[in-house]
Structure 1
Amino acid sequence: MKDKSYSALSNAALRAAESYYPEDERLFYDGAAFYLMPPLWKLFLKLIKFSPLREMIFAKRDKELPGVIGNLLYRTRYIDDTLRENLKEMEQLLILGAGFDTRSIRIEGLENLEVFEVDHPETLSKKKKGLKKLYQDLPEYLNLVEIDFEKRDLNEVLQENNFDKNKKTFLIWEGVTQYLEREAVDKVIDYFAELKSGSRVVFSYVKKEVVVGSERSEVDEKIISFVEEMGSPWKTGLKSSEIEEILNSRGLELIEDVGKDEYQKLYSDLSSREISIYDGERIVYAVKD
Structure 2
Amino acid sequence: MTSRDAAAETAFGPMVLAAIEHNEPPDRRLVDDDLAESFLPNRFRLLVRCTRVAAVRRAVIAAADRSGPGLWASIACRKRYIDERLSDPLNDTDAVVVLGAGLDTRSCRIARHSTMPVFEVDQQINVDRKQAVLRRTLGEVPSSVRLVGVDLERGQVMPALRAQGYDTRARTFFSRAPLTPFPDAVRATLTQLDGAAEGSKLIFSYIRQDFIDGTDLYGARSVYRRFRQRRAVWKSGLVPEHVGELLADHGWRLVEQAGPSYYRDTYIRPTGRPLAASPLEWTVFAER
Shorter-chain TM-score range: over 0.9
Task: Give CA-to-partner distance per residue, 1:123-154, whole Å, 9 cap, x none.
Answer: 12111111112322211100011111122122
Tell me the secondary structure at the aligned position of residue 24 of structure 1.
helix
Name the structure 2 match of 1:200: 201
Distance across 1 between alignment mates of 2:85 and 2:74: 16
- 5+ residue gaps, structure 2: none
- Quick one: which amino acid aligns to residue 273 of structure 2? R
Name the structure 2 match of 1:118: 121
**Do the aligned partners of residues 87 and 110 (structure 1) sit closer, same or farther apart at CA in structure 2, a change above 3 Å counting?**
farther
TM-score (norm 1): 0.92
Aligned residue among 89, 98, 101 for 2:101: 98
Where does 1:31-42 land on structure 2 (aligned, <5 Å)?
31-42=34-45
Distance across 2 between alignment mates of 1:195 and 1:12: 28
Aligned residue among 115, 120, 135 for 2:138: 135
8 Å CA contact 2:148, 2:164 repeated in 1: yes
- 5+ residue gaps, structure 1: none
Name the structure 2 match of 1:244: 244
Name whichever of 4-13 and 142-151 sits farther off.
4-13
Aligned residue among 177, 180, 187 for 1:178: 180
Distance across 2 between alignment mates of 1:235 and 1:262: 25
- Quick one: which amino acid aligns to residue 256 of structure 1? E
**Structure 1 position 25 matched with structure 2 position 40:** no
Where does 1:53-92 land on structure 2 (aligned, <5 Å)?
53-85=56-88, 89-92=92-95
Instruction: Give me the identity figure in percent.
Output: 26
Name whichever of 231-240 and 198-207 sits farther off.
231-240
Task: Give CA-to-partner distance per residue, 1:156-189, whole Å, 9 cap, x none.
Answer: 22222222110010000122x111111x432211
Name the structure 1 match of 2:214: 213
8 Å CA contact 1:24, 1:271 repeated in 2: yes
**Structure 1 position 254 matched with structure 2 position 257:** no
Name the structure 2 match of 1:168: 171
Tell me the secondary structure at the aligned position of residue 133 of structure 1.
helix
Deviation at 1:108, TM superposition (A): 7.0
**Structure 1 position 188 matched with structure 2 position 189:** yes
Tell me the secondary structure at the aligned position of residue 10 of structure 2.
helix
Deviation at 1:214, TM superposition (A): 2.7
Tell me the secondary structure at the aligned position of residue 107 of structure 2.
helix
8 Å CA contact 1:24, 1:272 repeated in 2: no
- Quick one: which amino acid aligns to residue 197 of structure 2? K
Aligned residue among 11, 15, 24 for 1:12: 15
Name the structure 2 match of 1:280: 280
Task: Give CA-to-partner distance per residue, 1:95-115, whole Å, 9 cap, x none.
Answer: 000011111222477632100
TM-score (norm 2): 0.92
- Quick one: which amino acid aligns to residue 136 of structure 1? G
Distance across 1 between alignment mates of 2:227 and 2:285: 26
Distance across 2 between alignment mates of 1:51 and 1:107: 30
**Do the aligned partners of residues 253 and 107 (structure 1) sit closer, same or farther apart at CA in structure 2, a change above 3 Å counting?**
same
- Quick one: which amino acid aligns to residue 192 of structure 1? L
Distance across 2 between alignment mates of 1:81 and 1:254: 17
Deviation at 1:230, TM superposition (A): 6.2
Deviation at 1:86, TM superposition (A): 5.2
Task: Give CA-to-partner distance per residue, 1:193-247, whole Å, 9 cap, x none.
Answer: 311111111010111111112333332x221112246634311111111111111
Distance across 2 between alignment mates of 1:246 and 1:287: 13
**Structure 1 position 147 matched with structure 2 position 150:** yes
8 Å CA contact 1:4, 1:122 repeated in 2: no
